[in-house]
Amino acid sequence: MSLIHQRLYTKDEFTSINIREYVTDLIYSLMSSFGYSESNFQVELNVTREMLEIDQALPLGLILNERVTNSFKYAYTGIALPSLSVSLKEDSKNIFLSVKDNGKDFCEADWQQKKDSFGKQLITALTKQLRAKEEILLHDGTEFNLIIPKKIA
C-alpha cells in the first residue's frame, strides 16, 4: 500500500496510478525481501494496462501482495528454479489479474477451511469489494485468477 501512496504523492492527480510500474516495483521488492534475485528466480510480468483508478488499484494491490507473498512463503521449498508469472490484462468489460507460481501444489481444501486466516479474510473482502470472481487452477504449480468488472461511469 505504501508503494501506491508514494506514487500518488509524486504527481498532481490523485485518482489513478501507473499500475504497470506499481506491479513491477511490488514484485521485485517482494522477491528481494524473500532473498531472491534475478539470478535465482524467474519473473514474467505482463501488464498491458498502464493506468488504473485508485479505488480499484488499492484493493487489487493488496490482493496481489497477499497472493505473491503466499507464493514466496509456501510454494518454493525444494524448487530448483522458482518462477512467478503475473499478468494484468483487460478487455472491454473486465480486468484480469493472474498470479502463477511453479511451486508445490496449493491445497484448495485447506484454503477454503481457513476461516480465521487474516490473509483469506482480506482477499475475500477485497474480492467482494471489487465485485470480482476468483478462480484457482492447479497445474504445474498454482494459478490464481481474478476477474474484475470494469466500473461503469
pLDDT tens per residue, range 100-137: 999 986 666 555 556 667 888 899 999 999 999 999 99
Work out whether strand 94-101 and strand 83-90 pair parallel, antiparallel, or are unpaired.
Answer: antiparallel
| Predicted confidence (pLDDT) per residue in 143-152, tens digit | 999 999 987 5
Cell of 61: 494491490
Structural domain range at position 94: 2-149
In the chain, how many domains are there? 1
Q: Would you state the torsion angle of the CA atoms of residues 13, 58, 132, 29, taken in this order, to the nearest 10 degrees?
A: 120
Specify the CATH number for the domain of residue 126. Answer: 3.30.565.10
More confident residue, 65 or 115: 65
Place of cell 517482494: 30
